[in-house]
Amino acid sequence: MKNKTRSIITLVGSFLIFSVGMLRILTESPSSISLFVAYVFAITGFIGVAANIVILRKLQSN
């Protein structure tokens, strides 16, 4: 698998993790995951999205 394809797949995965965390934080609906886990999902998802955007920009410049 090429590096660009791998980066795009991980970018989508990180964005999904981020959005699940943010959805739980913003709605505060009763759910099976606690609010602490939602914050962990949001933070790690955001870090993953930011890192993969940087990697994709480096790959496009080469």
pLDDT band of 54, cuts 50, 70, 90? very high
Please report the pLDDT score of residue 12 as a whole number. 96
Please report the pLDDT score of residue 31 as a whole number. 63
Closest CA to 13 of 62, 46, 40: 46
- How many domains are contained in the chain? 1
29-51: pLDDT as tens digits = 666 668 888 899 999 999 999 99
Q: Is the pTM of this model over 0.85?
A: no
Give start and end residues of each alpha helix (H) in 1-62. Answer: 3-27, 35-61
What is the extent of the structural domain holding 45?
A: 3-61
